[in-house]
Amino acid sequence: MSGHGTPIPMQSRAGSPLTGTALIPGDKSVSHRALILGALSIGETRITGLLEGEDILDTAKAMAAFGADVKRLGDGEWLVHGVGVGGFGEPEDVIDCGNAGTGVRLIMGAMATSPISATFTGDASLRSRPMGRITDPLVLFGAHAYGRTKGRLPLTLVGAQSPHGVRYTSPHPSAQIKSAVLLAGLNAAGDTVLIEKAKTRDHTERMLRGFGADIETVKTHAGYEITLKGQPELKALDIAVPRDPSSAAFPVCAALIVEGSDILLPNIGLNPTRAGLFSTLVDMGADISFENRREEGGEPVADLRVKYSELKGIEVPPERAPSMIDEYPILSVVAAFASGKTVMRGIKELRVKECDRIDAMARGLEAMGVTIEEGEDYLIVHGQSGDVKGGGVAKTFIDHRIAMSFLCMGLATREPVSVDDGAAIATSFPIFQDLMQGLGADIT
Ligand code: S3P
């Protein structure tokens, strides 16, 4: 659980170029899903490369609370003995998902069609985030939700007694909404159909297929229509979790802005629904090569080689937003070092992440001497052609990606960059500081 302890102020400063090999931890999205689907399947699911960040450890604890047998065998190696679709038992205590929006939302979906109740909570960040976007479709299956105003946590979900599949059009481009509906559909009779206008990350669909579910995506005039046949028997699967592209984004972007850098990042997940940042960086002139492209565990991966590059600002295509939604904070840092303006539009979902990320980046960039323009769904960063002052303190609002973005920024600014609290980094990238120091970064 993050956000409960004492704040950890951190600082970064310019120094040597970044060089060497960065072994990025496992993908957070895939790790949550591996534990949850392992818990809903019959037999033993062996997971390798699992992210051991706080968000994932909270999901592992939750799966045990619902009755699965979850064991850690060694570094990133876990065994989940599942209870089968419909086999969840009622947890004896409150489920605390810490900082994890994905954790709590997917788990709510997974339990909403079982005849049990559970109460969910989280840290101050998670308790401030909207849950109505998840409980609205879950209620259609017959579940009942009792949360605070605007559906905020703590929230009690009473699972449906005799759930039937639903047809639901997601009002937001959100893989969490899609996944919650599909996971609820597993224990519902008949088909569950989820329609999304823009394609969001599809790890749930890929993994469900791997576990033996009957699931199909069809492109229609309305967008992407995903149909899942209810009440399948999911069979345990061995899962090799790819390394997280969203975590890789930090050393990748740091190398691009620190002169003389040249780093290698093996085995990075490059699912097209996640890889938008890399396309954007290449559009800005980044020297990134994708070596040994291959498929591992149903997900495309490659080794990334990244060298310092002089970048130019661009207009990021708004339709690319779902495939790089978590990367706008670090992109806005890179944009400050580019020449010309970088325009990021269609990003209002950033306002409901671990914090309001448009506001957090705007205020932090201003504190570092960068000119920005912001609106409800856009952020424009005026690039300073490599010469950025820094010297300020960025507020991080219990948000791991805000903290890591500003720490990367300080590696290339004239004056050091401070963040008020880096504690949340442990939710997704517990080895961030060690890994960056290993590449030559000065982060204390
Ligand atoms: C995630 C989906 C995204 C993303 C989050 C992880 C997932 O959230 O921001 O970090 O694993 O499904 P939304 O679905 O709310 O866009």
Percentage of the chain modeled with pLDDT above 90: 97
**Tens of pLDDT, residues 337-361:** 999 999 999 999 999 999 999 999 9
Whose CA is closest to atom 15 on ligand 1? 174
- Which whole number is the average pLDDT over 50-64? 98
Return the ligand 1 atom nearest residue 29 CA: 11
Return the ligand 1 atom nearest residue 204 CA: 12
Q: What is the mean pLDDT of the chain?
A: 97
214 is known as an active-site residue = no
Whose CA is closest to atom 13 on ligand 1? 174
Q: How far is the CA of 83 from the centre of ligand 1 (A)?
A: 26
Pocket lining: 27 vs ligand 1, CB cutoff 6 Å: no
- Alpha-carbon distance of 126 to 140, in angstroms, equals 24
- Annotated catalytic residue, options 55, 58, 244, 326: 326
Peptide bond into 266 cis (omega under 30): no
Q: Which residues contact 82 (CB under 8 A, 6 or more apart)?
A: 38, 39, 40, 41, 42, 43, 44, 45, 68, 234, 236
Copy the structure tokens of residue 14. Answer: 């310019």
Q: How far is the CA of 97 from the centre of ligand 1 (A)?
A: 15
Asked if residue 307 has pLDDT above 80, the reply is yes
The mean-pLDDT minimum among 210-219, 297-306, 367-376 falls in 297-306
Asked if residue 284 has pLDDT above 70, the reply is yes
Q: How far is the CA of 153 from the centre of ligand 1 (A)?
A: 18
**Tens of pLDDT, residues 417-439:** 999 999 999 999 999 999 999 99
Q: How far is the CA of 349 from the centre of ligand 1 (A)?
A: 10
Return the ligand 1 atom nearest residue 33 CA: 11
> What's the pLDDT band for 42 if we cut at 50, 70, 90?
very high
Mutate-to-test residue for ligand 1 from 55, 106, 201, highest number of ligand atoms within 8 A of CB: 201
Pocket lining: 176 vs ligand 1, CB cutoff 6 Å: yes
Pocket lining: 179 vs ligand 1, CB cutoff 6 Å: yes
Asked if residue 60 has pLDDT above 60, the reply is yes
How many H helices and E strands in the chain? 13, 24
Q: How far is the CA of 102 from the centre of ligand 1 (A)?
A: 6
- Alpha-carbon distance of 238 to 48, in angstroms, equals 8
Cβ atoms of 327 and 363 within 8 Å: the answer is: no
Asked if residue 5 has pLDDT above 80, the reply is no
Residue 4: per-residue pLDDT: 52
pTM tops 0.75, yes or no: yes
Pocket lining: 178 vs ligand 1, CB cutoff 6 Å: no
Cβ atoms of 264 and 21 within 8 Å: the answer is: yes
Asked if residue 224 has pLDDT above 80, the reply is yes
| Residue at token pair 């492209």 | 293
Pocket lining: 396 vs ligand 1, CB cutoff 6 Å: no
Percentage of the chain modeled with pLDDT above 70: 99
Asked if residue 1 has pLDDT above 50, the reply is no
Residue 296: per-residue pLDDT: 83
**Tens of pLDDT, residues 82-133:** 999 999 999 999 999 999 999 999 999 999 999 999 999 999 999 999 999 9
Which run of H or E residues covers position 327? Answer: none
Pocket lining: 175 vs ligand 1, CB cutoff 6 Å: yes
Residue ranges of domains in the chain, CATH in brackets: 10-26+242-443 (3.65.10.10), 28-239 (3.65.10.10)
Q: What are phi and psi of 345, to 5 degrees?
A: -115, 165
- Which whole number is the average pLDDT over 329-336? 98
Neighbours of 442 (CB within 10 A): 15
Residue 347: per-residue pLDDT: 98
Whose CA is closest to atom 10 on ligand 1? 326
Q: What would you report as the CA-atom Rg of the chain, rounded to the nearest whole angstrom?
A: 21
Q: How far is the CA of 39 from the centre of ligand 1 (A)?
A: 21
